[in-house]
Amino acid sequence: MRWARPTRSIAGVTAGVCAAFVLASCTADSTSAGSAPGGSDAQAPGGGGSEAEQAAPPPPFEASVLAGADRGVPVDTRVRVAADNGTIDRVQVYRGSRAPARMVDGTLARDGSGWRATELLEPGATYTVLSTGTAQGAGRGTVRDTFTTQALTLDEQTYPSISPLQGETVGVGMPVIITFDIPVTNRAAIEQHLAVQSEPQVTGSWHWLSDTEVHYRPKTYWPAGTEVNVDVGINSIDAGNGIYGQMDREVSFQVGDSVISRVNVATHQMDVEVNGQTRRTIPISAGKPGFETRSGTKLIVEMFESKRMDAATVGIQPGDPEYYNIPEVEYAMRVTYTGEFLHAAPWSVGSQGSENVSHGCVGMSTANAAWLYGISHRGDVVDVTGSGRALEYGNGWTDWDMSWQEYQEGSALS
């Protein structure tokens, strides 16, 4: 689903063909040294001029607006105004007919020699530039001029979706996930405008999974209780191949308690650690031969109090002896895209703790599943060992199933 474009702003690159506009100015009238009393000019008989020529008025203030053109200005242009003589006192750049609501922020040089926008532009919009300045010995003046930016369709703009959601509480392994609805080929330019701030501060890195998805994780798990703010400042940034960032977005979230479930497929046990202390050891049943549960560091991706589980979604069709279709599986927590969950499995209680009989999920009693579900969040860590089947890269949120060095190598700025 594409979103309509709201008001937006962000920094970018400078464009630069100069169009000069001369500001109106005022000069005081001058009086010659030989003026007669009463203010009338006195001339010698037969003379053709005054004893002192009246001084020429000083030139008016002039400034140049640098926006690349007056039509079709690229949205990643940073508008500049330069004083050709004198100093600039004030510049206003705004979209539409009402200045206060849609002003483009900018910075005036300390010496008044110029002004530079700190925001980029919106597509298909008309901007007005009001430049006010003073030339030495001349009055103050203002000139008004306009330019129009390039038009862009939604298919020429990429929209960033962010996970976690605003205000969400997540687990200590939760990555920041940004997905783009149109591919980003200029990854470095986009990544330069992605920022994560946290309290307490952590060391982290971005990691591109594809042209449509980039993740961020800390070097080690988030400390419990961390407050995180994500700033996606890609409005009008060149994303490559004629695509631009559609808008800026910002999300804040919190990290909850550290809940790490350690599943040992070989011993049929799961130890659940809360803030570093083992709170419960749960008998489990994992994947049987041919359907082995994958070993690796996984994260809870989705949570459902009740979920239908149909084997057809993982390629097992009706008529196959392994086919199943269970309408209400309770306390289901997804850890892979290929269908592995932690969930209640009352049908296998007799095997839990002693035998692996599932099709890949980690099953436990309803009581244990309800307890685990009640303390869990998206992004909680599920560390699985004891299986000869490895977790595939990108099969779920596999951000922690690689070394820190490998993760950093996925940054476009590394």
Task: Collect all residues with Cβ–Cβ distance below 8 Å to 257 and sequence separation of at least 6.
Answer: 224, 274, 275, 375
Single out the residue of 164, 140, 139, 16 nearest to residue 77, CA to CA. Answer: 16
The count of other CB atoms within 10 Å of the CB of residue 84 is 17
Rg (CA), the chain: 33
Token pair 């001084």 is found at 55
Task: Collect all residues with Cβ–Cβ distance below 8 Å to 37 and sequence separation of at least 6.
Answer: none
- Contact (CB, 8 A) for 243 and 249: no
The count of other CB atoms within 10 Å of the CB of residue 359 is 20
Single out the residue of 152, 134, 14, 149 nearest to residue 94, CA to CA. Answer: 149
Residue 276 tokens, joined? 């570093």
Omega before 6 within 30 of 0, i.e. cis? no
**Chain Cα centroid distance, residue 274:** 32
Element at 369 (helix H, strand E): helix 366-375
Strand partners, 196: 230
Single out the residue of 273, 266, 190 nearest to residue 233, CA to CA. Answer: 190
Catalytic positions are 343, 361
Strand partners, 252: 229
Q: What is the DSSP letter of 312?
A: G
